[in-house]
């Protein structure tokens, strides 16, 4: 098979990306395209608007929603430590150990997947002139030829760039014409005009309230922003898509609420983003971890992930800040004498944008001006849910309600 490989930030996915994929397939040079949303792009390290998991799931939903045939999305960069240089990615991607199971997992018959494959790195022709300055360009060409798109109005001297690459690196360059309009992710975000974003991607953006004031992380330190991005990558191996996006949404909302109520935005972002990190670990492992943080306080299967999560981030990520650890530990149940940070993470977990288990509009509105009342409203909804299920609330939750004036002593 002739396989095109298309890497990028896709922050967000837009019609220009889709046109590149379709035009590359139409060119006749390739049979399929593997799309690789970047994790640690050397050109945009920690400067993307969204952490990597949002971008890969946005691309997956777009490919599926648009019914793009012979287009596969790869998470290969999540298995690469450090910067995701193209040469490093291609070395792994083109190996039989990776490409054969990847293709079969995406519906390619085993016999065809085991054939010899020719790889093409898809790029814009405007980057051909600078390709020789990329990290180890010769190694890139050992694994793949270049397949460059000539955009409408592009004045790049393609033949000159091709000749230079062939002379200096010995690589092969093929050219195809790009059908479609020119788009820019940064321009889409700055203008707020999402008309060039495909419908599946736009639905994804709206569902998670992305590229809004709440996700700009204004007032968050560069170190916390980096920690947030790395935490998202770390959790990718432990959580399914829906759970991972939920916990990242809680991080964003917690940072926003922290700004409203004079709480440390860095701590709120990290505590919120990591609150569910242990949710999908084996129950036995969760129980052991929970005991290491809070003894026998939590033993019920539905809530032990909270305390287990505090242990998980402490032992795996080296987070020692007790404010963050306690906010993770009590995000499900609450407790008596809650700190502002604990209230924020507790609340954000229940009302983040993608939550839709009830009409959350009134609580979300209240959360913008009265934290305690929003927590009371949330706790009341939890109490009603427990009552309908015939479940008893945890003693620490009862104490929280007493503190909030919801129950008498």
327/157 Cα distance (integer angstroms): 57
89/144 Cα distance (integer angstroms): 11
**CB-hemisphere CA count at 13 Å for 24?**
33
Confidence of residue 183 (pLDDT cuts 50, 70, 90): confident
**104: Cβ–Cβ under 8 A, 6 or more apart, which residues?**
110, 113
pLDDT, residue 357, reads 87
Q: pLDDT tens for residues 335-370?
A: 999 999 999 999 999 999 999 988 999 999 999 999
Percent of the chain at pLDDT exceeding 90: 84
Q: pLDDT tens for residues 102-141?
A: 999 999 999 999 999 999 999 988 888 899 999 999 999 9
72, containing H or E segment: strand 71-73
pLDDT, residue 153, reads 67
pLDDT, residue 46, reads 67
342/359 Cα distance (integer angstroms): 23
377/363 Cα distance (integer angstroms): 7
Give the residue extent of every domain in the chain.
Answer: 2-200, 212-403
**363: Cβ–Cβ under 8 A, 6 or more apart, which residues?**
347, 350, 351, 374, 377, 378, 381
Token pair of 130 as six digits? 């600078």
pLDDT, residue 157, reads 82
Mean pLDDT of the chain: 94
Helix (H, G, I), strand (E, B) or coil at 303: coil
C-alpha torsion 281→287→290→292, nearest 10: -110
Residue 11 is given by DSSP the state T
Q: pLDDT tens for residues 193-205?
A: 999 999 999 999 9
> 74, 39 in Cβ contact below 8 A?
no
Domain 2-200 CATH class label:
alpha beta
Residue 394 is given by DSSP the state P
Average pLDDT over residues 310-323: 98
> 295, 329 in Cβ contact below 8 A?
no
Higher model confidence: residue 302 or residue 251?
Answer: 251
Buried b (16+ CB within 10 A) or exposed e, 263-275: bbbbbbbbbbbbb
Only one residue has tokens 């083109």, namely 94
Task: Count helices and strands (H / E) in the chain.
Answer: 19, 6
Q: CATH homologous superfamily of domain 212-403? A: Hypothetical protein af1432 (1.10.3210.10)
Instruction: Give residue 14's region: left, alpha or beta (phi > 0; psi -120 to 50).
Output: beta
> 372, 343 in Cβ contact below 8 A?
yes
Confidence of residue 43 (pLDDT cuts 50, 70, 90): low
Average pLDDT over residues 9-14: 96
78/74 Cα distance (integer angstroms): 9
3-state helix, strand, coil in the chain (%, to 5): 55, 10, 35
Average pLDDT over residues 5-14: 96
Cis peptide before 330 (omega within 30 of 0): no
Token pair of 261 as six digits? 């109520």
409/405 Cα distance (integer angstroms): 9
> Which of 179, 174, 178 shows the shortest CA–CA distance to 150?
178
> 277, 316 in Cβ contact below 8 A?
no
Token pair of 226 as six digits? 């980096």
Same fold flag, 2-200 and 212-403: no
Q: pLDDT tens for residues 24-39?
A: 999 999 999 999 999 9
pTM: 0.95
Token pair of 349 as six digits? 């977990």
């Amino acid at each position: 098979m002739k396989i095109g490989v298309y890497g990028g930030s896709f922050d967000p996915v837009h019609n220009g990306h889709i046109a590149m994929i379709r035009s590359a397939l139409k060119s006749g040079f390739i049979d399929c395209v593997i799309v690789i949303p970047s994790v640690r792009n050397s050109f945009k390290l920690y400067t993307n608007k969204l952490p990597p998991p949002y971008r890969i799931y946005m691309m997956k939903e777009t490919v599926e929603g648009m019914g793009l045939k012979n287009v596969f999305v790869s998470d290969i960069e999540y298995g690469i430590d450090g910067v995701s240089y193209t040469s490093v990615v291609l070395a792994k991607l083109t190996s039989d150990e990776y490409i054969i199971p990847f293709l079969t997992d995406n519906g390619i018959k085993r016999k065809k997947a085991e054939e010899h494959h020719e790889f093409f790195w898809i790029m814009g022709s405007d980057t051909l002139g600078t390709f020789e300055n990329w990290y180890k360009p010769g190694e890139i060409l050992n694994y793949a030829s270049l397949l460059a798109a000539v955009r409408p109005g592009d004045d790049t001297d393609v033949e000159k760039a091709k000749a230079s690459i062939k002379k200096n690196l010995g690589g092969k360059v093929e050219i195809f014409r790009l059908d479609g309009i020119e788009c820019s992710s940064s321009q889409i975000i700055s203008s707020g005009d999402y008309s060039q974003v495909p419908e599946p991607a736009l639905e994804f953006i709206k569902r998670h309230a992305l590229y809004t004031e709440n996700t700009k992380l204004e007032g968050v330190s560069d170190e916390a922003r980096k920690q947030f991005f790395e935490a998202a990558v770390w959790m990718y191996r432990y959580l399914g898509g829906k759970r991972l996006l939920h916990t990242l949404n809680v991080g964003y909302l917690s940072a926003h609420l922290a700004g409203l109520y004079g709480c440390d935005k860095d701590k709120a972002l990290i505590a919120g983003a990591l609150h569910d990190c242990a949710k999908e670990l084996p129950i036995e492992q969760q129980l052991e971890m929970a005991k290491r943080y809070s003894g026998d306080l939590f033993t019920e299967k539905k809530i032990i992930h909270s305390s287990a999560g505090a242990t998980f981030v402490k032992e795996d990520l080296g987070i020692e800040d007790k404010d963050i650890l306690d906010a993770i530990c009590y995000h499900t149940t609450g407790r008596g004498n809650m700190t502002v940070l604990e209230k924020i993470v507790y609340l954000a977990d229940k009302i983040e944008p993608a939550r839709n288990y009830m009409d959350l509009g009134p609580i979300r509105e209240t959360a913008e001006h009265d934290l305690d009342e929003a927590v009371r409203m949330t706790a009341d909804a939890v109490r009603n849910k427990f009552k309908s299920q015939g479940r008893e609330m945890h003693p620490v939750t009862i104490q929280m309600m007493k503190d909030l004036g919801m129950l008498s002593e």
